[in-house]
Amino acid sequence: MQRILMGFIALVLLLMAVLPLFGFNLILVLGPVVLQPFDASLEPIYLFVSRSAGLATAAFFAINFLRHRRPLTAAAPLLVYANFTLFFGVAFLLQTASFRLIHLWPAPLLIALSVFLFKQNQRESAKIFSRDW
């Protein structure tokens, strides 16, 4: 029963993260479930990028929990969040009517952060398992 509940929570989190990319916003607070239209050119994009990245990160680790895979290092959740922020940031910006290339200025910073966190994660994972042999 607990695994079913965890799977349901992961599915809802994933839907809430991805639906704005398709023009819908799933609202679960303040009463019954509401599916509202979402227009990227009218909404504060940075809030939806952060929201979608956070929800997708939580769904990612919930699915990994169901697969009995735990993060090996403290850098793993940060790496996943940075990657989802990059993905949703670019996806939401491309949907806006007023998109200009200058709006992508944070992307190189996030790519550099992702590379740094990936290397940290690899280094710490190797350090953890170096004593196992």
pLDDT for res 116: 95
DSSP labels for 68-114? T---SSTHHHHHHHHHHHHHHHHHHHHHSTT--GGGGTHHHHHHHHH
Is residue 133 over pLDDT 70? no
CA 52 – CA 17 distance, rounded (Å): 4
Query: Tens digits of per-residue pLDDT, 40-89?
Result: 877 788 888 999 999 999 999 999 888 888 777 888 899 999 999 999 99
Is residue 130 over pLDDT 60? yes
Helix (H) or strand (E) holding 116: helix 106-129
Percent of the chain residues past pLDDT 70, beyond the cut:
95
CA 81 to each of CA 85, 108, 123: distance values in angstroms, whole numbers, following the listed order: 6, 15, 19
Total domain count, the chain: 1
pTM comes to 0.82
Least confident of 15-29, 30-44, 81-95, 113-127: 30-44
Closest CA to 116 of 73, 90, 78, 71: 78
Q: Which residues are paired to 35 by β-bridges?
A: 26
pLDDT for res 93: 87
Is residue 128 over pLDDT 90? no
User: For residue 109, what are the domain limits?
Assistant: 2-129
pLDDT band at 132 (very low <50, low <70, confident <90, very high): low
